[in-house]
Structure 1
Amino acid sequence: MPWSPRAALLRDLVLGVLGTAAFLLDLGADLWAAGQYALRGRYLWAALVLALLGLASAALQLFSWLWLRSDPADLHGPPAPGRGLALLHLLQLGYLYRCLQGLRQGLLVWQQATPSEFDLGYADFLSMDISMLRLFETFLETTPQLTLVLAIILQSGQAEYYQWFGVGISFVSISWALLDYHRALRTCLPSKPRLGWTASVVYFLWNLLLLGPRILAVALFSALFPQYVALHFLGLWVVLLLWVWLQQTEFMHDAGSEWLYRGTVATILYFSWFNVSEGHTRGRATIHLIFLLSDSVLLVATWVIYGPWLPTEISSHMWLAVGGICFLVGLALRLCYYCWLHPSCHWEPEPVDGTRVDGPRSLFACEHYQPFQNRRMTQLAWSFFPKAKDESILPGKGEVNGVL
């Protein structure tokens, strides 16, 4: 059953609140864990948690600031990005500012009986950037933190209550960020099929179940050989970075910042699939899956040989059984999703009378409504949904409709 316009606006507002709350909760869990490690004399663990948090936050603020500077000067209203926003980003508050700005715009749209086209489009624009930044934060900070916590649990042989709390929050946050990004991709397309509850649940679960074994494999290796895990990451990261470069991405507005994006994508690919270009997506996804699976098997094999040295109370057979079952179930759900639930399986163009009610833009039958376009997300959406590309022409760089 399709969402009514008011219900869709309220749904998006509630999801925005939950996303912001999840970010703050995850941040609080990391700071809590770092504080507990420091109090117990585990200064190296505390330093690693804070270092991962700081590096990820710096990259996130840089992305946010570069996007603000490349947007049209009058898009966000007066004043244009200046010293105040620069200071917020310098204080590592830029992403939180964007989340609050998106919530404010969403509340403004929901309160209006008949929202203006600009307010609806601007709310979509902000939510797309927030979804993308949330995805970056997830794989630059949450996923490495989760791997570190699991490695600490395996190495110490016990888990504290704050560690289990962080593990649970992290797993849910990672899968939620992927689902939110997937939903945001369709928001920037002129026509998009609805994402039903069944498809959303299956998409959430297969990402959770496939990510879990990968993170566990890296954590097992990290617990055994903490001195080599950085070399392992850098070795694979360079290979993945080369792969992204060969796909000739054009996500950012200049060559220098494009390498920041490519490096971030390579980090995501270390843990999960992420499509950045058009073409044979299924083939690239299969190659990537085989690549990660082979690497994970090698990491697990290393742990099987040396694993008995770890002081954990859980047997190796239990870890292997749980990881293997999660991977097989996740792979089965992924195949089911792309065979029967993926939008390309049920592609329907946008009705010309504007009767579809799956989101804020459906409030108006505006056939030519495009006051601005989030070029960043539109490029990725066309790569993910190639059938939508022939309905639009991507504006060139520097144009108002080609916001970077």
Structure 2
Amino acid sequence: MPWSVHAALFRDLVLGVLGTLAFLIDLGADLWAASQYVLSGRYLWAALVLALLGLASVALQYFSWVWLRADPTGLHGSQPSGQCLALLHLLQLGYLYRCVQGLQQGLLVWRQEVPSQFDLAYADFLSLDISMLRLFETFLETTPQLTLVLAIVLQSGSTEYYQWVSICTSFVGISWALLDYHRALRTCLPSKPLLGLGASAIYFLWNLLLLWPRVLVVALFSALFPRYVVLHFLGLWLVLLLWVWLQDTDFMPDPCSEWLYRATVATILYFSWFNVAEGRTQGRAAIHLGFLLIDSLLMVVTWATHGAWLPGELLLQVLLPVAGVCFLLGLALRLVYYHWLHPSCHWEPDRVDGTRGLYSLEGRQLPQNKRVVQLAKNFFPRDRDKSALPWKGE
């Protein structure tokens, strides 16, 4: 096996280990924060932390279970029986099982002298599902948890050591999930162009710089109007859910689970951009960005005109201008990325999961994660010029 391929497999294995550790550390930080709130008599805050954690975990296990049941028969040859898998998901361990399964397959491929095409394709299949689940967990649990912690800090005017740990782990988890998801989509490209360091940094930064001001504004609104933030979220969420429905998504294997996917996407759109429809997305992305910008400005104006006092008001006088600068910088980097670094591809009907064909040399059909491949088709547009290169420069 060439050294470059061996190094790439080792890098993917290390990234898988780090991603699993990041999830466990973030989970531990949330449970630690909840226990500290209980010990200090702040039962409502503890209940909110555990509620967000529980709801996100249930949704994550459901997605994992539905995907496993929809996968081709015999694909996961060495996995436990259906009853054991169901029990794992009921115990909220399905995602961790996925992570362990992905690490085992990655280690198997890395240790082989010449990995088979099937083993390589199966490792890609597992990593794509894990990346998608990690993204869902980020916006269903990590981002709301970060918003809640910031709201508590703004309302109380002080920051405890465990809250600093929660904030830091949340930012690391969000950053990791966004970059890992983008890397996963890149593996679905027909030509598999490598994600360069410059493109990775710019993609990571523009997502984080646009997400941070949104989280801060929602946290500020939550600290000032804790009784109305739920109504605000539900109102916008219903509008975004309608928008996702009008785009006629077809991601899940059945209508019931498709509505859960649409609800999850609407939650992501409440904080950040997520493309779910094929075709040119500039118009939809601009509408979504303008919608969130107007909503965020209205929340800031409400705070400024309400005259409510917060213990951390002096801190806000610094944070809000910094958030505005972050938004403008993130917008500039987003334009740079989509103008120069965002690839467009020749999507061919039978070559949708990398450069490998449908069958390996041994005659076995290669696994294709069509769920994430469809999202990659939405994210990376078709190249209009057939004579052009399949991707833009890195």
TM-score normalised by the chain length of structure 1: 0.89
When residues 47 and 65 of structure 1 are mapped into structure 2, their CA distance, relative to the original with a 3 A threshold, is: same
Query: In the alignment, which residue of structure 1 is the partner of 2:260?
Result: 260
Contact 1:307 1:316 in 2 (8 A): no
Query: In the alignment, which residue of structure 2 is the partner of 1:224?
Result: 224
2:373 pairs with 1:373: no
Query: For 2:172 and 2:276, how far apart are their aligned partners in 1?
Result: 24
Aligned-residue offset at 1:390: 11
Aligned-residue offset at 1:176: 1.7
When residues 217 and 386 of structure 1 are mapped into structure 2, their CA distance, relative to the original with a 3 A threshold, is: same
Aligned-residue offset at 1:173: 1.3
Contact 1:34 1:45 in 2 (8 A): yes
Query: For 1:329 and 1:7, how far apart are their aligned partners in 2?
Result: 34
1:292-330, CA deviations, whole angstroms, 9 ceiling, x for partnerless residues?
Answer: 000000111112223651111634421221110111111
When residues 111 and 78 of structure 1 are mapped into structure 2, their CA distance, relative to the original with a 3 A threshold, is: closer
Aligned-residue offset at 1:72: 1.4
Match of 1:385 among 380, 384, 388: 380
Query: For 2:371 and 2:65, how far apart are their aligned partners in 1?
Result: 14
Contact 1:69 1:81 in 2 (8 A): no
The count of residues paired between Structure 1 and Structure 2 equals 377
Contact 2:280 2:381 in 1 (8 A): no
Query: For 1:70 and 1:322, how far apart are their aligned partners in 2?
Result: 46
Following TM superposition, the consecutive aligned residue runs of length 4 or more in structure 1 with deviations greater than 6 angstroms are: 388-391
Query: In the alignment, which residue of structure 2 is the partner of 1:162?
Result: 162
Question: How many percent of aligned residue pairs carry the same amino acid?
Answer: 73
When residues 307 and 340 of structure 1 are mapped into structure 2, their CA distance, relative to the original with a 3 A threshold, is: farther
Query: For 1:79 and 1:330, how far apart are their aligned partners in 2?
Result: 43
One-letter amino acid of the structure 2 residue matched with residue 218 of structure 1 = V
Query: For 1:234 and 1:367, how far apart are their aligned partners in 2?
Result: 44
2:214 pairs with 1:214: yes
Query: For 1:366 and 1:278, how far apart are their aligned partners in 2?
Result: 23
Contact 1:131 1:180 in 2 (8 A): yes
Query: In the alignment, which residue of structure 2 is the partner of 1:62?
Result: 62
Query: For 2:20 and 2:47, how far apart are their aligned partners in 1?
Result: 25
1:85-117, CA deviations, whole angstroms, 9 ceiling, x for partnerless residues?
Answer: 100000000000000100010000000010011
1:328-364, CA deviations, whole angstroms, 9 ceiling, x for partnerless residues?
Answer: 11111111111122223xx6999xxxxxxxxx977xx
Aligned-residue offset at 1:286: 0.4
Aligned-residue offset at 1:387: 2.0
Query: For 1:44 and 1:332, how far apart are their aligned partners in 2?
Result: 40
One-letter amino acid of the structure 1 residue matched with residue 27 of structure 2 = L
One-letter amino acid of the structure 2 residue matched with residue 60 of structure 1 = L
Query: In the alignment, which residue of structure 2 is the partner of 1:108?
Result: 108
Alignment RMSD: 2.3
* Structure 2 gap ranges (5+): 387-394
Contact 2:22 2:172 in 1 (8 A): no
Query: In the alignment, which residue of structure 1 is the partner of 2:390?
Result: none
When residues 261 and 361 of structure 1 are mapped into structure 2, their CA distance, relative to the original with a 3 A threshold, is: closer
Aligned-residue offset at 1:276: 0.4
2:179 pairs with 1:179: yes
Query: For 2:102 and 2:268, how far apart are their aligned partners in 1?
Result: 25
Aligned-residue offset at 1:366: 5.9
Query: For 1:5 and 1:315, how far apart are their aligned partners in 2?
Result: 49
Aligned-residue offset at 1:279: 2.1
Query: For 1:50 and 1:216, how far apart are their aligned partners in 2?
Result: 21
Query: For 2:219 and 2:286, how far apart are their aligned partners in 1?
Result: 24
Tell me whether 138-147 or 295-304 shows the greater mean CA deviation.
295-304
* Structure 1 gap ranges (5+): 351-359, 392-404
Query: In the alignment, which residue of structure 2 is the partner of 1:278?
Result: 278
Query: For 2:81 and 2:129, how far apart are their aligned partners in 1?
Result: 16
Query: In the alignment, which residue of structure 2 is the partner of 1:49?
Result: 49
When residues 45 and 307 of structure 1 are mapped into structure 2, their CA distance, relative to the original with a 3 A threshold, is: farther
Query: For 1:146 and 1:288, how far apart are their aligned partners in 2?
Result: 22
Query: For 2:266 and 2:209, how far apart are their aligned partners in 1?
Result: 21
Aligned-residue offset at 1:200: 0.4
1:223-253, CA deviations, whole angstroms, 9 ceiling, x for partnerless residues?
Answer: 0000100100000000000000000000001
2:282 pairs with 1:287: no
Contact 1:191 1:388 in 2 (8 A): no
Query: For 2:78 and 2:112, how far apart are their aligned partners in 1?
Result: 22
One-letter amino acid of the structure 2 residue matched with residue 385 of structure 1 = F
Aligned-residue offset at 1:63: 0.3
Query: In the alignment, which residue of structure 1 is the partner of 2:336?
Result: 336
Tell me whether 168-177 or 246-255 shows the greater mean CA deviation.
168-177
Query: In the alignment, which residue of structure 2 is the partner of 1:305?
Result: 305
When residues 3 and 140 of structure 1 are mapped into structure 2, their CA distance, relative to the original with a 3 A threshold, is: farther
When residues 74 and 80 of structure 1 are mapped into structure 2, their CA distance, relative to the original with a 3 A threshold, is: farther
2:131 pairs with 1:137: no
Contact 2:240 2:269 in 1 (8 A): yes
One-letter amino acid of the structure 1 residue matched with residue 175 of structure 2 = S
Contact 1:61 1:95 in 2 (8 A): yes
Query: In the alignment, which residue of structure 1 is the partner of 2:7?
Result: 7
Aligned-residue offset at 1:179: 1.2
One-letter amino acid of the structure 2 residue matched with residue 234 of structure 1 = L
Contact 1:191 1:349 in 2 (8 A): no
Query: For 2:159 and 2:133, how far apart are their aligned partners in 1?
Result: 31
Contact 2:190 2:346 in 1 (8 A): no
Contact 1:74 1:80 in 2 (8 A): no
Query: For 2:343 and 2:167, how far apart are their aligned partners in 1?
Result: 32
Aligned partner of residue 95 in structure 1, secondary structure: helix
Tell me whether 96-105 or 308-317 shows the greater mean CA deviation.
308-317
Aligned partner of residue 314 in structure 2, secondary structure: coil
One-letter amino acid of the structure 2 residue matched with residue 187 of structure 1 = T
One-letter amino acid of the structure 2 residue matched with residue 328 of structure 1 = L
Query: For 2:342 and 2:91, how far apart are their aligned partners in 1?
Result: 40
Query: For 1:59 and 1:348, how far apart are their aligned partners in 2?
Result: 34
Aligned-residue offset at 1:171: 1.5
Query: For 2:385 and 2:138, how far apart are their aligned partners in 1?
Result: 32
2:94 pairs with 1:99: no
